[in-house]
């Protein structure tokens, strides 16, 4: 005689979702996600959400303590599991055509609507920057591809990320690194990150309060361009 164990429906549903998430993560890693990257300090919106909640993304506490991450997880979990895949191909250096105003944080709604929730204005968790005159952006290059350039921007004084979506005209260029050779950067022992971290010193005098630091990375191996919004609080 065979015996079967039937889980109560709520338990079974949670187990199914957790299993699906684990399968999605495994598929992401197997498909070469380690060829990609993100800004990790200040953290991009989806990297930060994954870092804070990836091991507990169904916790309803997130809705009160981290509401912008909550709405992003509810909209599409893939945006966080694939925090390192926010890019467009064949941009041909025409960023404003590839990524229209209002959709900068989703890289112009790349991959359909996967990352669209990242464009939503609101109280995203922000990295505190005590000295706006000098700080460092840390971009992570998982496959050591190097860069044709990193370009780091910050929103203009008076822009309000709590209520506004950034446009290109809202951005001030802080740094264009020019080419960076493959493998240049600090090696990390983090088994999830792998690769190297590239530190980009920048200065944003005159900025106070909430802003977005926007980083554009054209990888060195192809016409593959990454776009990252990171929320910060100056002062």
Q: Is 84 domain-assigned?
A: yes
Give CB contacts under 8 A, 24+ apart, made by 77-80. Answer: 77/21, 77/24, 78/24, 78/114, 79/46, 79/49, 79/114, 79/115, 79/117, 79/118, 80/46, 80/49, 80/50, 80/53, 80/54
At 74-110, the pLDDT tens digits run 999 999 999 999 999 999 999 999 999 999 999 999 9
Q: Which of 32-41, 78-87, 219-228 has the lowest mean pLDDT?
A: 32-41
Alpha-carbon distance of 16 to 10, in angstroms, equals: 10
Q: Is 173 domain-assigned?
A: yes
CATH of the domain at 227: 2.70.50.50
* pTM of this structure: 0.86
The average pLDDT across 12-30 equals 39
At 111-160, the pLDDT tens digits run 999 999 999 999 999 999 998 889 999 999 998 999 999 999 999 999 99
Q: Is 205 domain-assigned?
A: yes
Q: Is 1 domain-assigned?
A: no
Q: Is 3 domain-assigned?
A: no
Query: Is a pLDDT exceeding 80 seen at residue 201?
Result: yes
| Domain around 114 | 9-234
Total count of domains within the chain: 1
Q: Is 162 domain-assigned?
A: yes
Q: Is 170 domain-assigned?
A: yes
* pLDDT score for 76: 98
* pLDDT score for 95: 98
Q: Is 4 domain-assigned?
A: no
């Amino acid at each position: 005689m065979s015996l079967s164990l039937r889980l109560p429906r709520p338990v079974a549903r949670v187990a199914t979702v957790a299993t699906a998430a684990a399968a999605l993560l495994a598929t992401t890693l197997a498909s070469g996600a380690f060829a990609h990257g993100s800004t990790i300090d200040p953290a991009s919106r989806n990297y930060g959400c994954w870092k804070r909640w990836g091991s507990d993304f169904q916790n309803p506490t997130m809705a009160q303590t981290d509401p912008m991450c909550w709405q992003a997880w509810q909209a599409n979990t893939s945006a966080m599991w694939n925090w390192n895949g926010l890019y467009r191909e064949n941009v041909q250096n025409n960023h404003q055509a590839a990524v229209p105003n209002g959709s900068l944080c989703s890289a112009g709604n790349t991959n359909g609507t996967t990352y669209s929730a990242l464009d939503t204005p609101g109280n995203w968790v922000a990295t505190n920057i005590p000295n706006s005159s000098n700080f460092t952006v840390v971009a992570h290059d998982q496959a050591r591809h190097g860069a044709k350039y990193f370009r780091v921007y910050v929103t203009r004084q008076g822009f309000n990320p709590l209520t506004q979506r950034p446009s290109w005209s809202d951005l001030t260029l802080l740094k264009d690194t020019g080419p960076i050779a493959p493998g240049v950067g600090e090696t990390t022992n983090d088994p999830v990150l792998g690769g190297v971290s590239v530190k980009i010193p920048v200065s944003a005098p005159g900025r106070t309060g909430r802003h977005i630091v926007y980083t554009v990375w054209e990888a060195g191996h192809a016409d593959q361009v990454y776009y990252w919004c990171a929320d910060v609080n100056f002062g």
